[in-house]
Amino acid sequence: MPLHHTSIPNIICFMSFLRSVISYILDFLETIVVAVVIFLVLYVFVFQPHRVQGQSMFPTLHSGEYLLTNKFTYQFEEPRPGDIVVFKAPIHEEYDYIKRIIAVPGDRVKIIDGKFYVNGYILDESHYLSSSVATNGQRFLQEGMEVIVPPNSYFVAGDNRSNSSDSRDFGPIAEDKIVGKAWFRYWPPSAFGLIKAQEQD
């Protein structure tokens, strides 16, 4: 009885199919590797995700919101008053804080009658705070006392002044402790969009 052998055309067809599958898998893996590398580069050098915890920046930011911090922008420009920044906590640096810059190096800061004064002028915070909000002194900066922001440091405060531990309590933060600028809010969907800095007058 004659034996039945697989025809050469069938073998060639199978090998061609196998090469196509292998090529597809390699292309897919290459795409994954490139995507991972791009993500890591963006994460390490450009953007870092953060979750807002607590109400210290209410009503501007709410607890539970997710945002991207831009770690790149301050390589080309200095932090400015009104910027919302993420920085290493003064005592427990494994945690990040988020606050608003009130004053920059060399500025004179004081609190009088529940308002910030910078360089002798009342700080206009009407873009992001209700006029009824009172700014009280804390351990570092007390009512009527004036401090000068040291070089390479920034005076920061939470928008929720009655529920924020900030430079009024622990003093100005060093520039090298700033992680980056709060840039984009991606959750919840209702708050999706850029986080705009409010320049102060």
Active site residue 56: yes
Contact assessment for residue 112 and residue 134, using Cβ atoms and an 8 Å cutoff: no
Active site residue 99: yes
Task: Spell out the alpha helix ranges (H) of the chain.
Answer: 8-41, 167-170
Cα–Cα distance, 117 to 62 (Å, whole number): 26
Q: Can you say whether residue 82 is alpha, beta or left, with left for phi > 0 and alpha for psi between -120 and 50 degrees?
A: left
Question: Which one is catalytic: 56, 153, 164, 167?
Answer: 56
Question: Which one is catalytic: 99, 110, 164, 167?
Answer: 99
Cα–Cα distance, 160 to 191 (Å, whole number): 19
Catalytic positions, written as ranges: 56, 99
